């Protein structure tokens, strides 16, 4: 798999909070870290990684290009700035964070610039995030599906995004689920709690295991060591077919992330 199944997300974490989260995660065995230009924490993530002493080739670092940096003359310079903050010569994965609002920068332009960044060795893989199927068609037309490593989307038991998943998978494009725990909402779900009790697991472990068994990568975040350690154990949890079906039945189209002025017309 070109993208690790399990990693650490850093959305909304800044300053010493994100330094501590990344440091603890790396100590516990996490090796994939996901950040973004708009999170304004790349420098702190870079500090935590540098202080860990873990060899660069053992890590998988992802960042995302913000919409203000999509134009051909800005994308690569902004990526180089991200590399400087993260204290690395390359990223393992660089994503287009959101579609360009009102198509201000055409998909073809920013995808071509992102592919050029890959060809220059600034990033090992490229991908997209929060795209509709129409935008995915455009991205594929621009650079070819073989160059799109993953599509990172909001995906949890209450929003399973099946139309987008099916199209991406039909093109050989991996899915990364963000907000897999739905800000904790699904952890209170009676079905997930019942499954957790049966497996002597936590609701978070069950939800993360469901996503990974469905073929998606997950990047849960936490500021608490006990939760970071517990979430990691989801990698060792195997759910039965009946469990997977019960969770699949929780779909309700409940979207939590749709920023005004940036979000596309969702599928």
Task: Say yes or no to pLDDT of 67 above 80.
Answer: yes
Confidence of residue 239 (pLDDT cuts 50, 70, 90): very high
Q: Phi and psi (nearest 5°) for 72?
A: -55, -35
According to DSSP, residue 85 is labeled H
Task: Say yes or no to pLDDT of 180 above 70.
Answer: yes
Query: Tokens representing 14?
Result: 């800044």
Query: Could you give the CA distance from residue 45 to residue 264 in angstroms, rounded to a whole number?
Result: 29
Task: Say yes or no to pLDDT of 4 above 70.
Answer: yes
Task: Report the binding-site residues.
Answer: 97
The b-or-e profile of 159-197 (16+ CB within 10 A means b, else e) is bbbeebbebbeebebbbbbbbbbbeeebbebebbeebbe
Name the residue among 39, 51, 70 with its Cα closest to residue 62: 39
pLDDT, mean of residues 4-9: 98
132 CB neighbour count, 10 Å cutoff? 18
Task: Say yes or no to pLDDT of 1 above 80.
Answer: no
Contact call for residues 68 and 74 (beta carbons, < 8 A): yes
Determine the pLDDT at residue 73. Answer: 98
Task: Report the binding-site residues for substrate.
Answer: 97
Task: Say yes or no to pLDDT of 11 above 90.
Answer: yes
Average pLDDT, the chain: 98
What's the predicted TM-score (pTM) here?
A: 0.97
Which one of 39, 158, 178, 216 is the catalytic residue? 39
pLDDT, mean of residues 116-142: 98
Has 90 been annotated as catalytic? no
pLDDT, mean of residues 168-180: 98
Q: Phi and psi (nearest 5°) for 53?
A: 75, 5
Query: Could you give the CA distance from residue 206 to residue 203 in angstroms, rounded to a whole number?
Result: 5
Determine the pLDDT at residue 78. Answer: 98
What domains, with CATH codes, occur in the chain? Answer: 8-184+216-223 (3.20.20.100)
* CA distances, 150 to each of 23, 174, 206 (Å): 26, 4, 23
Query: Tokens representing 261?
Result: 């002025």
Confidence of residue 2 (pLDDT cuts 50, 70, 90): confident
């Amino acid at each position: 798999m070109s993208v690790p199944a399990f990693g650490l997300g850093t959305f909304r974490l800044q300053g010493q909070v994100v330094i501590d989260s990344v440091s603890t995660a790396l100590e516990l065995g996490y090796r994939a870290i996901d950040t973004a230009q708009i999170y304004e924490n790349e420098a702190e993530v870079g500090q935590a990684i540098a202080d860990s002493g873990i060899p660069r080739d053992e890590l998988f670092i992802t960042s995302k290009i913000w919409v203000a940096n999509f134009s051909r003359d800005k994308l690569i310079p902004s990526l180089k700035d991200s590399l400087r903050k993260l204290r690395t010569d390359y990223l393992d994965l660089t994503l287009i964070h959101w579609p360009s609002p009102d198509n201000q920068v055409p998909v073809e332009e920013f995808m071509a610039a992102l592919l050029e960044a890959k060809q220059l060795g600034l990033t090992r893989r490229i991908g997209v995030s929060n795209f509709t199927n129409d935008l995915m068609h455009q991205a594929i037309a621009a650079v070819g599906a073989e160059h799109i490593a993953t599509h990172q989307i909001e995906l949890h038991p209450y929003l399973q995004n099946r139309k987008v998943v099916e199209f991406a998978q039909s093109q050989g494009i991996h899915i990364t689920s963000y907000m897999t725990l739905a800000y904790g909402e699904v952890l209170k779900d009676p079905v997930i709690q019942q499954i957790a009790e049966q497996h002597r697991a936590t609701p978070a472990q069950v939800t993360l295991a469901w996503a990974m068994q469905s073929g998606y990568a997950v990047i849960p975040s936490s500021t608490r060591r006990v939760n970071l350690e517990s979430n990691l154990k989801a990698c060792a949890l195997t759910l039965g077919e009946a469990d997977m079906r019960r969770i699949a039945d929780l779909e309700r189209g409940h979207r939590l992330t749709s920023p005004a002025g940036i979000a596309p017309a969702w599928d």
